[in-house]
């Protein structure tokens, strides 16, 4: 599949590399076409890996993944272009973290909203699915790298067909336990988990952990 990855940080790099490994063609997008990190990905992963602007990645991808900084995500996606994203599934991994007052970060969105919803409202023709934002980058694409692979991934989105496609992709990464928490308003809980994630990171002194819901 042709996939457009927005973002050149650790999440974008990790996702894009794993997708190429799985046989997909990936265009990594950045604000500028000469972005060194995106060009580095393309050089290492040619010919399946390429790079360009957010707009280039958006028009290239049949499926899109948002791995941009939460504070700049809407700006990045607006640069990607409404028309380039229309009719496509967008997996939103971004977290609306506010580091402006130092650690620990707070959230940029109130508890009655979420970045996932803001993205869906801004791009109504795109099917936004919030997922993967609750684990560190390595675990997103290698859930089995934890000693117990019996841990959960969540997703939220309005479109059942879009969530089905995302589920397939997550399964190709190795996810076995995927919990659908409903429509895109479910992104609130997935993003509000981040303050707890940060505390757990402090407790464990490693990002290599995840949660398991039992009942």
Q: Which residues bind ligand NAP (CB under 6 A)?
A: 7-12, 30-31, 35, 67-70, 72, 75-76, 93-95, 97, 133, 136-137
Select 160 or 206, whichever has its Cβ closest to ligand NAP.
206
Q: Which tokens is 74 given? A: 């809407």
Strands 106-107 and 97-98 come out as antiparallel
Select 8 or 84, whichever has its Cβ closest to ligand NAP.
8
**DSSP per-residue codes, 77-123:** HHHH-HHHHTTSEEEE----EE-TT-SSPEESS-TT--HHHHHHHH-
Smallest gap from Cβ 120 to ligand NAP, in A, equals 16
Select 101 or 215, whichever has its Cβ closest to ligand NAP.
101
Select 68 or 84, whichever has its Cβ closest to ligand NAP.
68
Smallest gap from Cβ 158 to ligand NAP, in A, equals 21
Select 212 or 215, whichever has its Cβ closest to ligand NAP.
212
Dihedral of the alpha carbons of 135, 23, 145, 30, in degrees to the nearest 10: -30
Q: Which residues pair with 106 in a beta bridge?
A: 98
Smallest gap from Cβ 119 to ligand NAP, in A, equals 11
Select 91 or 162, whichever has its Cβ closest to ligand NAP.
91
Smallest gap from Cβ 215 to ligand NAP, in A, equals 25
| Helix, strand, coil distribution of the chain in percent, nearest 5 | 45, 20, 35
Q: Which tokens is 195 given? A: 């303050």
Q: What's the CA gap between 130 and 153, in Å, rounded?
A: 11
Smallest gap from Cβ 6 to ligand NAP, in A, equals 7
Q: Which tokens is 86 given? A: 């229309």
Nearest to 29 by CA among 99, 85, 98, 97: 85
Smallest gap from Cβ 75 to ligand NAP, in A, equals 4
Instruction: Please calculate the CA angle 8-9-10 and round it to the nearest 5 degrees.
Output: 125
């Amino acid at each position: 599949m042709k996939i457009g990855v927005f973002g050149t940080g650790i999440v974008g790099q990790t996702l894009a590399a794993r997708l190429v490994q799985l046989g997909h063609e990936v265009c990594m997008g950045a604000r500028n076409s000469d972005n060194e990190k995106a060009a580095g990905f393309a050089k290492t992963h040619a010919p399946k890996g390429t790079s360009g602007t957010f707009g280039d990645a958006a028009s290239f991808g049949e499926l899109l993944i948002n791995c941009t900084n939460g504070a700049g995500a809407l700006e990045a996606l607006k640069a990607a272009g409404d028309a380039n994203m229309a009719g496509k599934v967008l997996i939103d991994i971004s977290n609306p973290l506010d580091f402006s007052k130092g650690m620990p970060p707070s959230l940029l969105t109130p508890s009655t909203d979420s970045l996932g919803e803001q993205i869906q409202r801004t791009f109504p023709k795109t099917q936004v699915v919030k997922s993967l934002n609750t684990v560190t980058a390595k675990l997103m694409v290698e859930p089995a790298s934890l000693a117990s692979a019996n841990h959960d991934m969540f997703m939220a989105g309005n479109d059942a067909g879009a969530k089905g496609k995302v589920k397939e992709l997550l399964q190709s990464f190795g996810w076995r336990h995927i919990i659908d928490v409903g429509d895109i308003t479910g992104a609130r809980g997935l993003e509000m988990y981040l303050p707890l994630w940060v505390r757990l990171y402090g407790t464990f002194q490693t990002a290599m952990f995840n949660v398991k819901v039992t009942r």
